[in-house]
Amino acid sequence: MAATDEMVCFALYAATRATTQAYRALLAPWGLTYPQYLVMVTLWLDGEQTVSSLGDRLQLDSGTLSPLLRRMEQSDLIVRERRSPDERVVSIAVTDRGRRLRGELSDIPRQIAEGFALPDRTSAEDLIRRLHEISSSMHAVATDAARP
């Protein structure tokens, strides 16, 4: 058995916690959590979408996403509406207040990227690509482990 500082999983866990803490500090003046910020970024870039598609995009289940969206709606960041003949389908859109936040939070990605201290943009892109590959691989491991 390897020590935790020699395990890939622990390095990823530690990096994730540190990144989340950095986002928490940067987003605190706006009262946003990191998951709320991810919802806003997704809606700013991709536009209105269903709860289901948002959950798929952010890899969040409805048990996590629904209370998160409820709090965001109470804060006047988003609006949830049933716009389909199917009452189960709920659309999420950004409010005027949510749109204004986009400009206010536009510097957050640069501040986070500076924390990685990578020598150039290509290196950051390579890191992101590799992390997505790792995520896909681990998802496959979890899926295989769950099979009887």
| Angle of CA points 105, 52, 69, to nearest 5° | 45
Tell me the three state secondary structure of residue 20: helix
| Angle of CA points 47, 49, 52, to nearest 5° | 145
- What are the structural domains, with CATH classification, of the chain? 4-117 (1.10.10.10)
What is the reported pTM? 0.83
pLDDT in tens, 4-57: 888 888 888 998 898 899 999 999 999 999 999 999 999 999 999 989 999 999
| Angle of CA points 126, 113, 100, to nearest 5° | 120
Closest to 24 (Cα-Cα) out of 108, 130, 125, 117: 108
